Structure 1
Amino acid sequence: MKYLLSILSLLFLMGCTDSSDIPKEQSDLKDYLENRGYQVISYEGLAETYELTKEKITELPYIMYWGLQSVEPALYFGKTINVEKFLVKNHPLSKGEVDVYVYEVDGQPIGGTSFPHGERLYGGFWSLDGETIEELQAKSFQDWRTDWINKYSKNGLVQPN
């Protein structure tokens, strides 16, 4: 009976541990978010890993993701991008919780995107701080897209759709 109670107690304690603990490897990313004023609720894990290329940033959804960054993508061509997902509060995109995807290269955060937690909004893309491309660029979306593709496409001049 004591053996059974010991096992049950151990299982209970394991079930009560905080699953939102931030792994040591992501503590710099947590600090990055907190320095922006966000309250980190939990670390949700690695969402994606990929090598950044010119081809990738001219295709959906990466054209949108990278158009929302304040860094020059060319600085990261050939580098591995790790996209780490966090759940935060105190974000301008929503009064509730927001999914934040932090882009990390060589252990350093370089930007990211955000999305209202639990919502299914198709076609919505927001910067780390909840801004749209139209809010970040000094031109229309169509002009921005044409300029972006001309800048990063192998073939250069591309006609808008």
Structure 2
Amino acid sequence: MIRKKFPLLAYFIWAILLLLIPLGCGSDSPWSEDEESAANYVESQGYKIVARQGKVFTYRLDKSLLQLGSSHPLDKKYNTNTIVNIMMSDGEVIGGTSTPDVGGLDGSLYSLDGRTLEEVTGISYGEWRTQWAQKYTD
């Protein structure tokens, strides 16, 4: 009699386990600490994140996160959402860039708050490039 009840109990346990397995396999993974820090920084600057693009790439010293946001100064200028790239090192935000979310603007990076290189540095791109090359090349 014990032999007949055991297989029925075993089937019952397997059925319960098979029903519980999908509950532990959700597709929405939580944000990493760096992603959460980057999102908090973007929102603290007054921007609203409307889509998460995830980690774009990783450098040896810092991580870049891509966030698609709204309420950014470039939104009105280009009539679109703005892609915000947050750079981090050791869990701390160290800077970022922004660019309109439209095709055909290759190389159109702005500061996190939407300013051009000239507006940030006070010099032209050519002058900046010359100074950078003198400082960082042999």
Common fold by TM > 0.5 = yes
Partner of 1:92: 73
Partner of 1:23: 31
Partner of 1:66: none
Percent identity over the alignment?
34
Partner of 2:53: 44
Query: What is the distance in 2 between the residues matched to 1:39 and 1:22?
Result: 19
Partner of 2:10: none
Which amino acid letter does the alignment assign opposite residue 82 of structure 1?
Answer: K
Q: SS of 1:143's equivalent?
A: helix
1:95-127, CA deviations, whole angstroms, 9 ceiling, x for partnerless residues?
A: 331111100111111111111113321231211
- 1:115 corresponds to which of 84, 99, 109: 99
Q: SS of 2:50's equivalent?
A: strand
Q: SS of 1:94's equivalent?
A: helix
Q: SS of 1:142's equivalent?
A: helix
Higher RCO structure (Cα 8 Å, ≥6 apart): 1
Aligned pair in 2 of structure 1 residues 24, 141: CA closer, same or farther (>3 Å)? closer
Aligned alpha-carbon RMSD (Å): 2.4
Which amino acid letter does the alignment assign opposite residue 67 of structure 2?
Answer: F
Greater helix content: 2
Partner of 2:88: 104
- 2:110 corresponds to which of 96, 101, 126: 126
Q: Residue 83 in 1 paired to residue 64 in 2? A: yes
Ranges of 4+ aligned residues in structure 1 off by more than 3 Å? none
Query: What is the distance in 1 between the residues matched to 2:81 and 2:53?
Result: 13
Aligned pair in 2 of structure 1 residues 132, 107: CA closer, same or farther (>3 Å)? same
- 1:149 corresponds to which of 115, 118, 133: 133
Query: Residue 24 of structure 1: CA displacement?
Result: 4.4
Query: What is the distance in 1 between the residues matched to 2:67 and 2:117?
Result: 22
Query: Residue 27 of structure 1: CA displacement?
Result: 1.6
Q: SS of 2:94's equivalent?
A: strand
Aligned pair in 2 of structure 1 residues 102, 22: CA closer, same or farther (>3 Å)? farther
Query: What is the distance in 1 between the residues matched to 2:30 and 2:108?
Result: 28
Q: Is the 8 A contact 1:22 1:43 kept in 2?
A: no
